[in-house]
Amino acid sequence: GQQVMQIPQYQHVQEGEDFTTYCNSSTTLSNIQWYKQRPGGHPVFLIQLVKSGEVKKQKRLTFQFGEAKKNSSLHITATQTTDVGTYFCAGLNNNDMRFGAGTRLTVKP
Amino acid sequence: SAVISQKPSRDICQRGTSLTIQCQVDSQVTMMFWYRQQPGQSLTLIATANQGSEATYESGFVIDKFPISRPNLTFSTLTVSNMSPEDSSIYLCSVEGDSSYEQYFGPGTRLTVT
């Protein structure tokens, strides 16, 4: 079955440093979504990517979808303490959505 | 996006008992989803609940253990039956967005089984 792998599992950065999390699927995806879960909170939808090679930006966050629609990345420029949380990707294939394991980001002020 | 509430927000239960979790949405939705998230882990889909039909369960989850009701387009319940400590987890309901497949999650129910 479909598997979605996400790395790294943890990332600790100094405030102001950049951060990237990567997501890879074993199958070609219809779309990929990204979620953020603050400590003690629930996952919150950030963005959805549909097209091959698509790039979307939300302020300091840049999301990319690979040409083969099997991988994706989330890059945060100049992290802030408000970026703390776990970032999950979720890949959709044939109405089957699978979440990655998540990358837990901590930011040192 | 939909506004979703869940009850209870947390509970501590004894093994062998059952707990029913309620999920209420502020708008009518076709599909509702139930997830389990163990501490520090990812989200695992338990089942998909459509109004007017039997819930569809994912591999490893069965109706006898996790019966689901979906009486109308704004409400669903998940029961965790005959609980054991391994059922300790956060249980989340979610709904799909209006125009695409993004999901909106409820605040979750934190269950501890002793």
Which of B18, B72, B26, B27 has the alpha carbon at shortest distance from B49? B72
Which residues of A fall within a CB distance of 8 Å from B102?
A: 33, 45, 48
Domain locations in chain A as residue ranges: 4-108
Average pLDDT over chain B reads 94
Q: Which residue of A has its CA nearest to B6?
A: A42
pLDDT surpasses 70 at B64: yes
Of the candidates A42, A44, A102, the beta carbon closest to that of B108 is on A42
Neighbour tally for A66: CB within 10 Å: 20
Which residues of B fall within a CB distance of 8 Å from A97?
A: 45, 101, 103
CATH code of the domain made up of A4-108: 2.60.40.10
pLDDT surpasses 90 at B52: no
Q: pLDDT of A16-50, one tens digit each? A: 999 999 999 999 999 999 999 999 999 999 999 99
pLDDT surpasses 70 at B2: yes
How many whole angstroms separate alpha carbon A34 and alpha carbon A15? 22
Band the pLDDT of B98: cuts 50, 70, 90.
confident
Write down all domains in chain B, each with its CATH number in brackets. Answer: 4-113 (2.60.40.10)
How many contacts does A have with B, using Cβ atoms within 8 A? 42
Band the pLDDT of B99: cuts 50, 70, 90.
low
